[in-house]
Amino acid sequence: MNTDEDTPVPVGQAPHRRWGQVGESGVMYPLPPEVAAPKLSFLRVSKTYLSARGEPVQAVADVTFDVAPGEFVCILGPSGCGKTTVLNILAGLVQPTSGEALMDGKPIPPASPDRAMLFQEPALFPWQSIRGNVEFALKLIGVPAGERADRAMTWLSKVHLTRFADARPHELSAGMRQRAALARALACDPQVLLADEPFGSLDAQARELLQDELQRVWAENRKTFVFVTHNVREAVFLADRVLLMSAPPGRFLEEQRIRTPRPRNYEDVLIAKVVADIHEHLVEEVDKVVAREIGH
Amino acid sequence: MRSATDAPPPAGPGDGTGGPGGAGGAGGPEGDGQPAVASRGATNARWVWRQAWPVLLTLGVVLVIWAIISATGAVSTSSLPSPATVWSTFWRLVRDGTIPTATAKTVLRLVVAFGIALVVGTLLGIGLSASSLARRSIGSLVVALRAVPPIAWLPLAAVWFGLNEKAVVFVAIVGGFPSVTLATSNSLRQVPPLLHRAGQTLGAHGWTLYRSIVFPAAVPGYVGGIQLAWGYCWWSLLAGELVTHAARAVGLGQELVRSQRQDQAAEVIAILLVIIAIGMVVDLVIFGLIDRRLRVRRGLTLR
């Protein structure tokens, strides 16, 4: 457990550190055997918005990180720390103010189905059935009409929604809607999955079910996954690596590799230990946010 | 597997009046019921009847009060004829072709005027929703148009077209299209950004994004706005007909003025009833059905 990689690394202090690169001190960082080139990378990315009153607000400050192909990364941080902004930049919905956001070494192109996104709300289209929603996504990526129904049903069965294929989104529970959104995202066979607190509005029970289901479905073909959450247990349960973000403006504070074998379950002792560690750090950051809000 | 605990909320019948479909909520002990697909057993015809009977009852009460007033002789029958007199007058006007001809004329004008208002207003509204410069320039013109009571355009229309059918239809178009424009623009701009983003990440951009996501998402707001717009169109049309009574193409408005000139209170009331009936059919039946369909399909009904 106490190898080098398991100790928290203050990411912000080594902004240019890349796997396999020689750092300023002349030390070459080891290249993990399974990693060739990063699938996604952020190089000193900052994003500044204009608030409604026209004042600049820095959402993300000087963020650097890599995501290896097939890696499941969770970004964890207090609310308002810029997690969603990081994700929107990865999705191609938002442009960084400075720095480079790359996919396969090239600047991230505009939003496209090669990066599927799960939002906090399921974002299903209410005028279509559940199956219709999935088939619509398949149509957009050019799947011939004859194959759409089969492919949609295959994915709906993976998230246990076969019986509800012809129901409309409003007829399902919140958890089922989010599962439908997951099926819609996966059906398009994306290279990268992005998720913005997709289980944030679910009750604890539905949440655990979905995490379990997500872990299972993801393990089938191990797509590169960036998952944003403020729930430590969720992050540790799902991720290969957890990145902790600071109070706003968001910077990366540390990373934790989670080596617990999969499939994992909540009762795992290792998971509990890492959760406790990270929790301490996160509480500090949340305290900072609260102190600032009260101070104002 | 465990997902059974994640079943949907118990389903009731879509109409909410506790019809025969109550089995939905009484599924398994864990709420493991069928999806709450609204029981389509409540057919449109039944729905129309459920909407219609309170209306008919209200009309019946009004009719009775009217009959009592005219029977007591408190108001002279030349001012307020009895319901029976109006009824027989109505049938006379139907049989001699006056009401069918006038109704056909007026409805045709409505269809033409509202159709043009819909096309022009919708296209303009789409343009306004897409560009803030267009909203500030052309949008302000549309608002300016709405400030003028439509009938106030008639003198100008009469100068351009003569005091004829064209002028009346023109007034009705001007009465309807600004509201259609604003309804279109507003409903499109109120589509949640989440749906835009979801569409973009699924690969819908430009025209595809609009056609397959933004337009469908805007439909409920659009229909609400259109329902108001048709009303403005209808009022403007009748106002126009009342003023252009000299025109040869006779509609309901012109018939109203003719009856009034001949001091035929029963005919005036009979024609007014036709106007009311047309308005109620369009509002309650046509828009009512569209509205209900949207609500059922998108889960906007309150149980």
B119-157 tens-digit pLDDT: 999 999 999 998 889 988 999 999 888 888 999 999 999
Outline where DSSP puts E strands in chain B: none
Please say if the pLDDT value at position A15 is more than 80.
no
According to DSSP, the residues that pair with A195 across neighbouring strands are A118, A227
Chain A CB within 8 Å of residue B275 CB: no
* Dist. CA B271–CA B256, nearest whole Å: 7
pLDDT at B27: 35
Instruction: Say how many CB pairs under 8 Å bridge A and B.
Output: 101
Query: What ipTM describes this predicted complex?
Result: 0.78
pLDDT at A36: 63
**Angle CA A78–A79–A84, to nearest 5:** 110
Sign of dihedral through CA atoms B269, B272, B278, B283? negative
Report strand pairing: A241-245 vs A72-76: parallel
pLDDT at B75: 81
pLDDT at B91: 94
pLDDT per residue as tens digits for the range B253-279: 999 988 888 888 899 999 999 999 999
Please say if the pLDDT value at position A4 is more than 90.
no
* Dist. CA A182–CA A137, nearest whole Å: 12
Q: Are B117 and B229 in contact (CB under 8 A)?
A: yes
**Cross-chain Cβ contact B6/A206 below 8 Å:** yes
Chain B residues touching residue A123 (CB < 8 angstroms)? 194-195, 197-198
By C-alpha distance, the chain B residue nearest A174 is: B8
* Dist. CA B163–CA B155, nearest whole Å: 8
pLDDT at A220: 86
Q: Which of B6, B208, B298 sits opposite A173 (nearest CB)?
A: B6
**Cross-chain Cβ contact B202/A140 below 8 Å:** yes
pLDDT per residue as tens digits for the range B62-118: 999 998 988 888 888 888 888 989 999 999 999 998 899 999 999 999 999 999 999
Helix H or strand E segment including B196: helix B193-201
Q: Which of A111, A121, A127 sits opposite B200 (nearest CB)?
A: A111
Instruction: Please report which confidence band the pLDDT of residue B248 belongs to, taking 50, 70 and 90 as the band edges.
Output: low
Lowest-pLDDT range of A83-92, A258-267, B98-107: A258-267
Residue A147: CB atoms within 10 A of its CB come to 11
Q: Report the b/e string of A221-231 with b at 16+ CB within 10 A.
A: eebbbbbbbbb
* Dist. CA B144–CA A193, nearest whole Å: 49
Please say if the pLDDT value at position A217 is more than 80.
yes
**Cross-chain Cβ contact B203/A117 below 8 Å:** no
Chain A CB within 8 Å of residue B217 CB: yes
Instruction: Please report which confidence band the pLDDT of residue A205 belongs to, taking 50, 70 and 90 as the band edges.
Output: confident
pLDDT per residue as tens digits for the range A178-188: 999 999 998 99
Q: Are B249 and B188 in contact (CB under 8 A)?
A: no
The mean pLDDT of chain A is 82
**Residues near A135 by Cβ (< 8 Å), separated by ≥ 6?**
A148, A149, A152
Q: Are B123 and B112 in contact (CB under 8 A)?
A: no
% of chain A at pLDDT higher than 70: 86
Mean pLDDT of A238-247: 86
By C-alpha distance, the chain A residue nearest B204 is: A140
Alpha helices in chain A, H assignment, sequence order: 83-91, 130-140, 145-158, 174-187, 204-221, 232-238, 269-295
Residue A283: CB atoms within 10 A of its CB come to 12
pLDDT at B152: 92
**Cross-chain Cβ contact B3/A209 below 8 Å:** yes
Q: Is A232 helix (H, G, I), strand (E, B) or coil?
A: helix
By C-alpha distance, the chain A residue nearest B196 is: A123
Q: Is A61 helix (H, G, I), strand (E, B) or coil?
A: strand
Please say if the pLDDT value at position A44 is more than 80.
yes
Alpha-carbon distances of A54 from A114, A292, A296, rounded to whole Å: 34, 21, 19
Mean pLDDT of B214-238: 93
pLDDT per residue as tens digits for the range B6-37: 444 444 333 333 333 333 333 333 333 444 44
Task: Write down the residue that tokens 């492919």 correspond to.
Answer: A151
Alpha-carbon distances of B266 from B60, B78, B260, rounded to whole Å: 18, 8, 10
* Dist. CA B111–CA B120, nearest whole Å: 14
Lowest-pLDDT range of A85-99, B22-36, B208-222: B22-36
Chain A positions with Cβ closer than 8 Å to B: 91, 93, 110-113, 115-117, 119, 121, 123, 125-127, 136-137, 140-141, 160, 163-164, 166-173, 175-176, 184, 188, 194, 205-206, 209, 212-213
Between A259 and B269, the higher pLDDT residue: B269
The mean pLDDT of chain B is 83
* Dist. CA B7–CA B10, nearest whole Å: 8
% of chain B at pLDDT higher than 90: 47
